[in-house]
Amino acid sequence: MKLKALIGDREEELVIKFQDGRVSAEVGGRVYDLEVREPQPGGYLFFLNTDVHECLVSERATSKDAFAVSVRGHSYEVTIVDPKRLRSGQNSDRHHHGLAQILAPMPGKIVRVQTEAGAAVEKGAGVVVVEAMKMQNEMKSPRAGVVVSINVKPGDTVNAGDVLAVIE
């Protein structure tokens, strides 16, 4: 699962994989192979080699994606940003300026590319079609702009969170 986390004023990319009761977490390019236990709601124990770290997490009332996280005596304000929500436009205020990435919502295969780099697109215009679980999903531009890059071609296999195209 690919996510972005806003930690204070820093933005970090997170890649989390669950396998055989273990968690592999990549944070800012560093990879951690952990065993995780939840002895109480919002309380976690992370086992990293021979070290044990206690982590307390509480959801903020201001947003279901905002958390207060305490680890090793330090507290952090963390906001999780789901790439699928960025793609879908539910969080469209993030796309008004700068670059907007169109991300794969789940693993799948590219069926069709509907535009090319340099082309002007309107908000909601189809850019790429991804087939996943025998269904075709049209990835649409989150805003009007110019296609900066198309990072896939028909037949390519993609993972959830992969950047399919960039709109400026």
Can you give the pLDDT at residue 84? Answer: 55
Residue ranges, CATH 2.40.50.100, the chain: 95-167
Stretch 1-25: mean pLDDT, rounded?
A: 80
Domain 95-167: give its CATH code.
Answer: 2.40.50.100
How crowded is residue 82: how many other Cβ atoms within 10 Å of its Cβ?
17
3-state secondary structure of 151: coil
Residue ranges, CATH 3.30.700.30, the chain: 2-81
What's the burial of 107, exposed, middle or buried (CB within 10 Å: 0-12/13-18/19+)?
middle
Q: For the segment 91-144, what is each residue's pLDDT rounded down to a tens digit?
A: 444 444 567 888 888 888 999 999 998 999 998 899 999 988 778 889 999 888
Can you give the pLDDT at residue 83? Answer: 56
| Spatial distance between the Cα atoms of 11 and 128, rounded to a whole number of angstroms | 27
Angle at 14 between CA 78 and CA 57, to 5 degrees: 35
| Spatial distance between the Cα atoms of 49 and 22, rounded to a whole number of angstroms | 12
Residue 86: enclosing H or E segment and its boundaries? helix 83-88
Class of domain 2-81: alpha beta
**pTM score of the predicted model:** 0.45
Grade residue 21 by pLDDT with cuts at 50, 70 and 90: low
Can you give the pLDDT at residue 38? Answer: 81
Stretch 77-85: mean pLDDT, rounded?
A: 71
